[in-house]
Amino acid sequence: MTIYDRFGVRSRINAAGLLTRLGGSLMPAEVLDAMRQAAASFVDLAELQAAASTVIARHTGAEAGLVTSGAAAGLTLGAAACLAGLDTGRMDRLPETDDLPNEIVMCRTHRTSYDHAIRAAGARIREVGFNDRATGAGVRDVEVWELEAAITPRVVAVAYMATPESQPPLAEVTAMAHRHRLPVLVDAAAQLPPAENLRRFIADGADLAVFSGGKAIRGPQGTGILCGRRDLVASAALQQLDMDVRPETWRPPDLYRRQETLRGIPHHGIGRGFKVGKEEIVGLLVALERFATLDHAAEQARQEALLLAIRNRLADSPHIRARLLPAAETGRDPLLELRVDETALGLSAFALSLGLQQGEPPVHLGERNAAQGVLIVNPVGLREGDAETIATRLRSALHGKHPGGTRTA
Ligand SMILES: *Cc1c(COP(=O)(O)O)cnc(C)c1O
């Protein structure tokens, strides 16, 4: 009996990718072991976060770093750092910013529902440009001059959503922003692998970048990384840490001290609700070190072999065409694309997917292109034996049985 059985919750096979709503990723044994050890002692959280900063700096090339309660929390803290800097009075006022410079400039094509996290700090997003390419009515994405034209004294930062296709190029945006002494905050939550991306956005001039700790890094699900400029990371940390301290005995790490710039000790800040435990900080650090030294090519070769095994078991299925997209083609993880002949099968890709999710054990495939009749097998979350189960369940779904399979299987 598993711990999930004990609480009446079903374990699921995840071939949909590393999704927060399915539990993020699975922590390697060495991460779990580190968390168990971390749970056995009291520590000063500020000292632990300052040590985390050194590790994050080493792996990202940034000046400093902070473990956050997820990349979204990192966006809120990063925005809070851009709004308040090391001004203790402003820290205490957030998220009320009406009479402060409070705008963050963003390309319309970079907006996602995650930028709620930026607004939560008190920032107003000043949206720039059109979405011509998505509407099909135009050919050009937002250009740097448009971002520059939006800069006024009310602007405190530029936010940038990183994807392999993001335009304008980050290096051009940061060069422009730095001419105006404005920081650039990059959402790189899901841009790993490739592992080189740990350094890429900072190298392109980002002043702050966020990564999810609970996706490809395989740290604790509720963690993330905020890395970047030392003063901004210090601001974020001071707005996140428990600040019930006595001035007589407060001895913060040098990274957060900066007495010369702090007019006083801030109270609990906007990030106080984004608590990160000592076990999670340690788990994230061990996971980050593992991720940074992992042989990703070997891992992708292993994943491709799993996908090929599934494809071979579906080769005689008349209603599905399975095609391997190797890592070399996707630029990150390999994928198996399943093109469903919905008419011949008498089921839509969505119905097939729902049936798999409702069977035993529940199986989740990627649904991003399901409206076009395509389901995706993403190997990153597969455990030993999962590939065989997926192939078996798909075969029974395609050969006339209910896609849920048999409950006793
Ligand atoms: C997953 C994701 C986030 C949120 O990350 P968490 O670590 O779950 O908080 C933010 N932005 C993008 C683009 C993401 O994919």
Mean pLDDT of 380-389: 95
Q: Which of residues 293, 313, 330 is at a domain's end? A: 293
User: Backbone phi, then psi, for 195, in 5-degree steps?
Assistant: -60, -25
- Burial of 153 (C-beta count, 10 Å sphere; 0-12/13-18/19+): exposed
Q: Are 158 and 185 in contact (CB under 8 A)?
A: yes
Sequence-distant (≥ 6) Cβ neighbours of residue 168 within 8 angstroms: 107, 141, 142, 143, 144, 147
Mean pLDDT of 309-328: 93
Q: Total structural domains in the chain? A: 2
The CATH number of whichever domain residue 315 belongs to comes to 3.90.1150.110
- Whether residue 36 is contained in a domain is answered as no
Paired strand residues for 67: 225
- Whether residue 404 is contained in a domain is answered as no
320 and 271 within one domain: no
Share of the chain above pLDDT 90, in %: 88
- Whether residue 193 is contained in a domain is answered as yes
**Residue 260's pLDDT is what?**
64
The CATH number of whichever domain residue 146 belongs to comes to 3.40.640.10
- Domain containing 179 equals 42-293
pLDDT at 408 over 60: no
**Residue 409's pLDDT is what?**
35
Pocket test for ligand 1, best of 18, 19, 20, 221 (most atoms within 8 A of CB): 20
Using one digit for the tens of pLDDT, what is the confidence trace for 109-120? 999 999 999 999
- Whether residue 26 is contained in a domain is answered as no
Q: Which of residues 293, 320, 336 is at a domain's end? A: 293
Pocket test for ligand 1, best of 76, 187, 225, 276 (most atoms within 8 A of CB): 187
Using one digit for the tens of pLDDT, what is the confidence trace for 239-284? 999 999 999 999 999 898 765 678 889 999 999 999 999 999 999 9
- What is the pTM for the complete model shown? 0.94
Pocket of ligand 1 (CB under 6 A): 20, 70-72, 114, 187, 189-190, 212, 214, 224
> What is the CA(76)–ligand 1 centre distance, in A?
12
Pairwise CA distance, residues 367 & 180, whole Å: 42
